[in-house]
Amino acid sequence: VLGVDRVTVVGHSFGGGIAMQFAYQFPERTERAVLVSTGGLGPQVTPLIRMLTLPGAGLVTRAITAKPIRPAVASGLRSLSQLPLMAVRDLDEAADVYEKLADPAQALAIRRLAKTVVDWRGQFVTMRDRAYLTKLMPVLVIWGHDDLVLPVDHSQNLPSMSTSEVHIFERSGHFPHKDHPEAFTKLLIDFCSEKAPAPYHRGKWRSLLRRGEQPVEINDIAEAAKKRSKPKRADYDVTATSASSSSAVS
């Protein structure tokens, strides 16, 4: 519809995991990936999110977002966020989430979303086991040094790749794009202009999926194919369908 065949995918927090999942499933559509304070790189996460997954969380959220106290709490959070203290830097964003929890439908959606990746112990979904699939893809990891939602140490947990780089914003929390909008935008534009789009080759992508972290070079695939006798048409169709299904699931 838009006439755009390939894109640079940018994801923040939970969206970072979605961005990587998109890159895994649609490498032919992905040129680069940018992960901003992303989930999926370690179990640690703020206790406030873990609490949303506990039994009875719905009753608690209804109580603390009751109409008589809601305006005062939201206003207090936003006022505290103006203080020059690291611990309260992102409370204005927390106030927005707090107000959404007052809506039963939105509260249910937020709790269900949290439960898909977090339990009382922390994050249980990881992107590290499939990060090798982006070895040929430029990846930019951006984090705020004072992030209290997902610790900045997670920025070092993405397996080392020659195509990846990490940028840490000082005096920034979980929303570096909000704390330093101009510098963030410049960083993103420079990354897209300086890093060539990831190449895509269907045969090499299949080899990555089949062999894990030991990719086979394209030339090796071609040589191996020459040594095998040409399969029957029916067998070839079945094999191709099976491989395509595996790629989609992964």
Is the pLDDT score of 129 beyond 50? yes
Give residues with Cβ within 8 angstroms of 227, minimum separation 6.
none
From the candidates 12, 13, 154, 179, which is the catalytic residue? 13
Is the pLDDT score of 246 beyond 70? no
177 and 158, same domain (yes or no): yes
102: nearest Cα among 55, 58, 72, 46:
58
For the chain, the first-to-last Cα distance in angstroms comes to: 26
33 and 134, same domain (yes or no): yes
CA atoms within 13 A on the CB side of 232: 3
Active site residue 174: yes
Which residue type sits at 194? E
Q: What is the mean pLDDT of residues 193-204?
A: 90
Asked whether residue 110 is domain-assigned, the answer is no
Asked whether residue 63 is domain-assigned, the answer is no
Asked whether residue 82 is domain-assigned, the answer is no
Q: Residue 47: in which H helix or E strand, if any?
A: helix 47-51
Is the pLDDT score of 160 beyond 90? no
187 and 135, same domain (yes or no): yes
16 and 130, same domain (yes or no): yes
Asked whether residue 60 is domain-assigned, the answer is no
Other beta carbons within 10 Å of 17: 21
Active site residue 13: yes
Which residue range(s) make up the domain with 226? Answer: 202-249
**Would you tell me the crossing angle of helices 233-249 and 202-211 to the nearest 10 degrees?**
70
Dist. CA 240–CA 211, nearest whole Å: 17
190 and 206, same domain (yes or no): no
38 and 130, same domain (yes or no): yes
- Taking every pair of Cα atoms in the chain, the longest distance, rounded to a whole number of angstroms, is 76
243 and 185, same domain (yes or no): no
Asked whether residue 168 is domain-assigned, the answer is yes
Give the residue from 177, 194, 211 where a domain finishes.
Answer: 194
131 and 38, same domain (yes or no): yes
Cα angle 30-35-41, degrees, rounded to a multiple of 5: 115
Asked whether residue 120 is domain-assigned, the answer is no
Asked whether residue 99 is domain-assigned, the answer is no
Q: What is the mean pLDDT of residues 6-19?
A: 95
- Bigger pLDDT: 141 vs 135: 141
Cα angle 77-90-125, degrees, rounded to a multiple of 5: 120
- State pLDDT tens for residues 35-85: 999 999 999 999 999 999 999 999 999 999 999 999 999 999 999 999 999
Q: Tell me the pTM.
A: 0.79
Name the percent of the chain lying above pLDDT 70: 82
How high is the pLDDT of residue 1? 67
21 and 132, same domain (yes or no): yes
185 and 159, same domain (yes or no): yes
How high is the pLDDT of residue 201? 87
From the candidates 12, 154, 174, 177, which is the catalytic residue? 174
Contact 131, 189 (CB under 8 A): no
3-state class (DSSP) for residue 168: strand
Q: How confident is the model at residue 229 (pLDDT cuts 50, 70, 90)?
A: very low
Q: What is the mean pLDDT of residues 121-129?
A: 90
Active site residue 167: no
136 and 228, same domain (yes or no): no
- What rounded mean pLDDT belongs to the chain? 83
Name the percent of the chain lying above pLDDT 90: 66
Is the pLDDT score of 18 beyond 90? yes
Domain count, the chain: 2
CATH number at residue 167: 3.40.50.1820
From the candidates 147, 154, 155, 179, which is the catalytic residue? 147
Give the residue from 175, 194, 213 where a domain finishes.
Answer: 194
Asked whether residue 185 is domain-assigned, the answer is yes
Dist. CA 101–CA 103, nearest whole Å: 5
